[in-house]
Amino acid sequence: MPVISYELPDRFVAGTVGEPGGRAFYLQAREGRRLTSVALEKFQVSLLAERLSELLDEVLRRSGGAAHVPAVTPEGLRDDEPLDEPVEEEFRVGTMALAWDPDDERVVIEAQEATGDEDDAEVGEPDPAIAVLRVRITAAQARAFAERALQVVAAGRPPCPLCGLPLSAEGHVCPRQNGYLG
């Protein structure tokens, strides 16, 4: 499969479909009428957001403020809208890569299709049969993405006050209550 590339998309967000406890997580890029959605796990969304924030903070620190990296999300870039419809999964994400391009001060995010053997993957030339979503965004867009992604992850089921595991409408078997429904 090809590399699906977005150079400064109109929108790049993480979002969900479904109710808490049964949500599916997606990365979605849109440029004009072109729309790409890739599925991934909740922990991948959280990890991407955390690493993006760390990358931006490091670029800001190393540049001494010379790089155009906002310390917080610019107000005009906050995006609380649902994912664009239709949400059609192009592929499920296996590995992701994150980089800073100092020449044009852009963040590069690559999400590679899961192949089932990510542990055995070798560094080098990518397999042309594996799909890749590549998105290049500004530092401000990256801050907005990270903020929204962390909010999406946190919007799931509330934690049990005793054990911290997620609660569902039916309750859950709480290990702190010796297996009784909490």
Instruction: Please give the average per-residue pLDDT across 19-44, as a whole number.
Output: 94
Question: Does residue 12 contact residue 141 with C-beta atoms inside 8 Å?
Answer: yes
In which band, very low, low, confident or very high, does the pLDDT at 20 lie, cut at 50, 70 and 90? Answer: confident
**Cβ–Cβ contacts within 10 Å for residue 106, how many?**
19
Instruction: Please give the average per-residue pLDDT across 141-149, as a whole number.
Output: 97
Cα atoms in the Cβ-side hemisphere of radius 13 Å centred on 54: 8
Judge whether residue 127 has pLDDT over 80: no
pLDDT of residue 156: 78
Question: Does residue 154 contact residue 165 with C-beta atoms inside 8 Å?
Answer: no
Alpha carbon distance 11, 26 (integer Å): 13
Average pLDDT, rounded, for the chain = 88
Question: Does residue 19 contact residue 155 with C-beta atoms inside 8 Å?
Answer: no
Question: 32: burial class by Cβ within 10 Å (0-12, 13-18, 19+)?
Answer: exposed
CATH topology (fold) of 3-177: Secreted effector protein pipB2 fold (3.30.2450)
Among candidate residues 116, 117, 122, 97, the one with its CA nearest the CA of residue 44: 97
Alpha carbon distance 135, 99 (integer Å): 11
pTM score of the predicted model = 0.82
Instruction: Please give the average per-residue pLDDT across 25-50, as a whole number.
Output: 97
pLDDT of residue 104: 93
